[in-house]
Amino acid sequence: MGFDYSDFERYVNNFKRMSREFDTWITNFLMRQGMRFIAEVRPRTPVDTGDLRAHWRLDGITRVGDELHVWFINPMEYATHVEYGHAPPYMSGQVTEGQAGWVEGYFMMTVSLEIVERNLPARFDREFKEFLLSLEVL
């Protein structure tokens, strides 16, 4: 009596293929989520000249050990002041957060990041299952 190993061999080969292609898949997934962040943060960014809103960029994805880091930049030097709030330049050093004259922050990056992070687990689950199905691992 023999045993047909073909299904098992196909499963093993598909699993090997999945492990080879996973880095590309996860990088592409994070790039898409990064673009979702950009799509969230731009409309939340206040407009004076439009420079701050126009300069949001996904700067890349780096691996540090087992972690992947997604980097965003806005090179406008006043971006941090708009995000977190500030004292007007003529009152610098005289006003602290909460006092009269303090300009409140917009928290456009903080809020946008929270929205993307909140939806990330469901998106990951759905897209990872699609990835596995495409490789016939599930």
Beta partners for residue 73, in sequence order: 57
Structure tokens at 61: 């994805």
Distance CA 46, CA 60 (A): 24
Return the beta strands (E) in the chain as ranges. 57-64, 67-73, 85-86, 103-104
Beta partners for residue 104, in sequence order: 85
pTM of the model: 0.83
pLDDT of residue 83: 97
pLDDT of residue 1: 65
Residues of the chain short of pLDDT 50, as ranges, are none
| Exposed e or buried b per residue across 95-105, where buried means at least 16 C-beta atoms within 10 angstroms of its C-beta | beeeeeeeeeb
| Max CA separation in the chain (angstroms) | 90
pLDDT of residue 22: 94
- Number of C-beta neighbours around residue 39 at 10 A: 12
pLDDT tens figures, 86-118: 887 766 667 777 677 788 999 999 999 999 999
- Number of C-beta neighbours around residue 7 at 10 A: 8
DSSP 8-state class, residue 76? -
